[in-house]
Amino acid sequence: MADEDKKRQAHRALVDRVLNGEGRASAEQRARAFGNDGLSPPLDVLIGKVADRPAQVTEEDLAAAKASGCTEDELFELVICAAVGQSARLYEAGLAALAEATAKGRPDHAT
Amino acid sequence: MRLDTLNHGYGPGTRLLFALIRLFSGHPVPDAAKLVFYRPDFYGALAKEFTHEAMRGPSAWSVGDRELMAAYVSKVNESAFCVGAHTATARQAYQDGPRVAAVLADLESAPIEGPLRATLRMLGKLTREGKVSAGDMREVLAAGVSPQQVKDALAVCAAFNTTDRLADAFGFELLSPEGFEAGAKYLLKRGYR
């Protein structure tokens, strides 16, 4: 179990860093990118694709975000937040389904 | 890469390191490696820790199994760079190219163990649909996978859903087949730290 905690802990540390540590983008913007929620155009298009259809991100999506006033360092951070955010949701969803399966799925659980 | 700063925004020490890697490996530094050297305090340092723990930390899954999971998740995400990198790494880890090719071509007919197949199926669904049910997990457990193995596989899945997105968003340049083989050799020798 200790090893499992290490994987999970390492993941939590990464999530905490990108959301709450120092950054060029504001913590509020990073949280929005992480959650893929509440960003204004054209950033919402780029971040939405990173979260849901990453293979469809284009050069133009990044160019449009830059033209809207984002610096490259801000984009570096926001794209990372979007990627880490979507992965964190998948991780949580998988662990929650496993917890449910092991809690209710075992015939010997009724104690 | 699609942000100029990811191509050029490195200090002299890092640039020297890249030059040495190029010199000794005979291959340019892959974009995946460059990315973790860019402002490592923001992402690279902790991302490497997590990825290494997921891919090389203690687990009942072999390194080959975990590299295959990485390749399979990357295939679902259509992330060409990561498919190339982790197909090569899984192939070398298993010393079995046809096994890896068969899984990526058709998971259901591939000649692999039941527990691994059930786990890959679940990771594929989670990655594709963003969710899995308790029923899906019961099927994996019924195939003989332990709860701890499920957790370990979910960590691999989280690591590669992150990396795949960055590869595609930032536009990692594909390597030559020799470049992917050299990268795979490095990942098996040194891991992700």
Size of interface A-B (CB pairs under 8 A): 158
Q: Is B42 on the interface with A (CB under 8 A)?
A: yes
The CATH code that applies to domain B4-190 is: 1.20.1290.10
Domain locations in chain B? 4-190
Hey, what are B166's tokens? Answer: 């960055």
Cβ-Cβ contacts under 8 Å, A83 against chain B: 161-163, 165-166, 169
CB contact under 8 A, A93 and B132: yes
Closest-CA residue to B70 (of B41, B91, B47, B40): B91
Strand, helix or coil for residue B34: helix
Which pLDDT band, with edges at 50, 70 and 90, does A5 fall under?
confident
Please name the member of A21, A57, A73 whose beta carbon is closest to the beta carbon of B168. Answer: A57
Has residue A108 got a pLDDT over 90?
A: no
Which pLDDT band, with edges at 50, 70 and 90, does A104 fall under?
low
Is the ipTM value over 0.90, yes or no?
Answer: yes
Has residue B7 got a pLDDT over 90?
A: yes
- Spatial distance between the Cα atoms of B59 and B63, rounded to a whole number of angstroms: 9
Output b/e per residue, B46-71; b: 16+ Cβ within 10 A.
bbbbbbbbbbbbebebebbbbbbbbb
Task: Note the pLDDT tens digit of each residue in B84-98.
Answer: 999 999 999 999 999
pLDDT > 90: what percent of chain A? 88
- Spatial distance between the Cα atoms of B107 and B126, rounded to a whole number of angstroms: 15
pLDDT > 70: what percent of chain A? 89
- Spatial distance between the Cα atoms of B35 and B55, rounded to a whole number of angstroms: 18
pLDDT of the residue at A2: 54
CB contact under 8 A, B166 and A80: yes
- Spatial distance between the Cα atoms of B82 and B104, rounded to a whole number of angstroms: 13
With beta carbons less than 8 A apart as the criterion, state whether B101 and B127 touch: no
Cβ-Cβ contacts under 8 Å, A59 against chain B: 2, 171
With beta carbons less than 8 A apart as the criterion, state whether A81 and A18 touch: yes
pLDDT of the residue at B42: 98
Has residue A111 got a pLDDT over 90?
A: no
